[in-house]
Amino acid sequence: MARFIDEAIITIRSGKGGPGAVAFRREKYVPRGGPAGGDGGKGGDVWLTADPNLSTLLDFRYKRAYEADNGDTGQGSNKAGLDGEDVNVRVPIGTIVRDSETNELIADMTDAGVRFLLCKGGRGGKGNSHFATATHQAPKFSQPGEEGEEKKIKLELKLLADVGLVGYPNAGKSTLISKISAARPKIADYAFTTLTPNLGVVRVGSELGAPTFVVADVPGLIEGASLGRGLGIKFLKHLERTQILVHLIDGAKLLKEFGEEDGQAIAEGAIRDKEIIDAELYTFSPELSEKEQIIAFNKADLFTDEVLEEVREHMKKKGLKDVMVISGAAHIGLDLLVDRLAKRLFGPDGLKTTSPESMARSG
């Protein structure tokens, strides 16, 4: 996979308009023809396009300046100069564009294929024929072309996903996304396997035209991530635009700590782990920590039904209702989880229609 880069600063410049021409008609037997200087061509524009086939801003590490061509000078015989060619800069969907100095928002490229005019090319200058008047029939001047614009912009990719997966490293986030979508991220039994976000499109049901939603799998969080431990918390920006989070609790970690039988202790550990992750989310952004969460106790395949019931009961007593018990690897409770997410995203009756955004994104 291409290296995932989510920030870049680039310079863009539109073309200058070509100057208008100073020229006169030259005809046989007409000693002094009228003015015939054509207009200068327009400078090329710089456009930005959201391209669903791109997933990183990596290209902008290599090429940081984008310039459109200038317009050509006008010609004789009232012939206009050629317009400068436009430049089209392609960015991944979810790219936010800001002025690099003022930080002012310029564009948010959320829709596939949509073009945004970043820098308009300069207008071509008028040729001298425009300036002839009754008293001044042979003007020897024309208009210069208009300057192009130059901007220094900051590109920031913030992925567009409906659902975000959060949890400790090894909690099973990548395994889960690989079971409910076509995403195939690396999975391994060591912490911080996932280094950059993965997106997966989840199809709800199997019929043709079934609704889909997008899930984002990100690196794991640990206590102190907001202080730079582990992989830090910067990647959490890719969850900011989600509607709901699935908070995965690592059952295997708790089993190691408390054994496989003491449901109450396991539940206490689960609550503690959840709060540690929530605190990191809060430090990143209170708004993110207030997003609705589905809590999923993962790796249920390692426990008996009785212990799982005890875990759920105890968590409920502590105020954590609706904890789901799942196993990504053993495919337990996944249909229910997808169903619950779909109901939350599309509404109870909305399952028959696909949201246009997720359609666009599922390609």
For residue 293, what are the β-bridge partners?
Answer: 245
Q: Is residue 175 within the footprint of Mg ion (CB under 5 A)?
A: no
How many Cα neighbours within 13 Å face the side chain of 257?
Answer: 15
Return d(Cα 363, Cα 230) in angstroms, integer: 34
Taken as a whole, the chain contains a residue count of: 363
**293 to 322: interface string for ligand GTP, x by CB under 6 A:** -----xx-xx--------------------
Q: Name residue, tokens 């900011």.
A: 240
Residue 140: CB atoms within 10 Å = 11
What does 181 interact with, of Mg ion, ligand GTP, none (CB < 5 to 8 A by kind)? Answer: none
In sequence order, what are the residues at sequence separation of 6 or more whose Cβ sits closer than 8 angstroms to the Cβ of residue 59?
none
Q: Is residue 327 within the footprint of Mg ion (CB under 5 A)?
A: no
Among left, alpha and beta (phi > 0; psi -120 to 50; other), residue 139 is beta
User: Which span sits near ligand GTP by CB under 6 A: 9-17, 85-93, 191-199, 304-312?
Assistant: 191-199
| Total residues interacting with ligand GTP, rule: CB under 6 A | 26
What does 329 interact with, of Mg ion, ligand GTP, none (CB < 5 to 8 A by kind)? Answer: ligand GTP
User: Which span sits near Mg ion by CB under 5 A: 106-114, 172-180, 200-208, 314-322?
Assistant: 172-180
Among 82, 191, 265, 279, binds ligand GTP (CB under 6 A): 191
Return d(Cα 68, Cα 52) in angstroms, integer: 24
User: Which span sits near Mg ion by CB under 5 A: 140-148, 187-195, 254-262, 346-354?
Assistant: 187-195
Among 129, 174, 242, 354, binds Mg ion (CB under 5 A): 174
Q: Name residue, tokens 């049901």.
A: 205
Among 14, 73, 143, 194, binds Mg ion (CB under 5 A): 194
In the bound state with Mg ion, the residue whose beta carbon lies nearer, of 174 and 212, is 174
| Beta-strand pair 212-217/198-203 | antiparallel
User: Closest Cα to residue 214, out of 327, 303, 342?
Assistant: 342
Residues contributing to the site for ligand GTP (CB under 6 A) = 167, 169-175, 187-189, 191-194, 219-220, 252, 298-299, 301-302, 327-330
Residues contributing to the site for Mg ion (CB under 5 A) = 173-174, 193-194
